[in-house]
Amino acid sequence: MTIARKSVAFLAASALLLTTACTDGAMSDSDPNKNAKEGALVGGIIGAVGGAMLSGNKKKGAIVGAALGAGVGAAIGNNLDKQEAELRQSLDGRVRIINEGDRLVVIMPQDILFGTDSTYVQGGLRDDIQAVATSLNRYPESTVQVIGHTDNTGSAQYNLDLSQRRAAAVANILIGSGVYSGRVQIIGRGEDAPIATNLTPEGRAQNRRVEIVILPN
C-alpha cells in the first residue's frame, strides 16, 4: 500500500470517528431518516478525504469525492431505515430489531425459537424468519450473518456446538425461503458474547438468542 493510500485510510477512519461523535448529538433517534442523514455526512467526509488525497487536483478531487461519498452513504442509510420500518411491521413483537447505523441486528430469543436442547425451529417463529427472508430478498445488496448464542449452563464446547447448530437451523430457513446461500454466513458463539448476567434466570434467557445481522455491501 502506498503512503498516499495509507494516509487516506487513516484520515477516513479519523473522519468516521469524528462524524459519529457529531451525529450522536445532532440528530434525534426518533428521526425516521436519521441513518440516511448520518450516512450522507459520513460518506461525504470520507469521500472528500479520499478524493483530495488521490486526485492530482486536490480541491476538485475533494468536491467530487464528497459528492460521491455522500450519495452512497445516504443511499445505504436510507435503505436501512426503510428495511427496519418494514421489519418492525412484519415481525412478532418479541423479536427485537436494532439499527446500528451501518447494519441491522434482528434478535430472536432462543426460548421462543427452540425447545430445550433442540435445534428444531418452532412453528410460530418460522413465519418471522420467512418474513426476514422476504425483506432480505427485497434488499439484495447486503450480506447476512446468522449468529447463535447461549448462556453458560453446561460445558463451553457443548454450548458452542449447540449455538452453531441453532444458527444453521435459522440460516437454512432463510435459504429455503429464497435467500442466496452465498450471502449467508453461519456463526456459533456459544457462551462467549453475553448481553446480560448469567447469574439470574432472566439474564440467561436474554443470552440465549439468535441474531440475524444485515450488513449492506
Phi-psi region at 109: left, alpha or beta (left = phi > 0; alpha = psi -120 to 50): beta
Q: Going by C-beta distance under 8 Å and a sequence separation of 6 or more, which residues neighbour residue 173? A: 121, 126, 129, 130, 133
pLDDT at 51 over 80: no
Could you give the CA distance from residue 112 to residue 100 in angstroms, rounded to a whole number?
Answer: 24
pLDDT tens digits for 9-25? 554 455 445 445 444 44
pLDDT at 122 over 60: yes
Domains of the chain by start residue, with CATH: 34-90 (no CATH), 94-216 (3.30.1330.60)
**Mean pLDDT estimate for the chain:** 80
Dihedral through CA 186, CA 148, CA 178, CA 83, nearest 10? -110
What letter would DSSP give residue 121?
P
pLDDT tens digits for 126-171? 999 999 999 999 999 999 999 999 999 999 999 999 999 999 999 9
On whether the CB atoms of residues 104 and 83 are closer than 8 A, the answer is: yes
Confidence band, pLDDT 50/70/90 cuts, at residue 89:
very high
- C-alpha cell of residue 92: 412478532
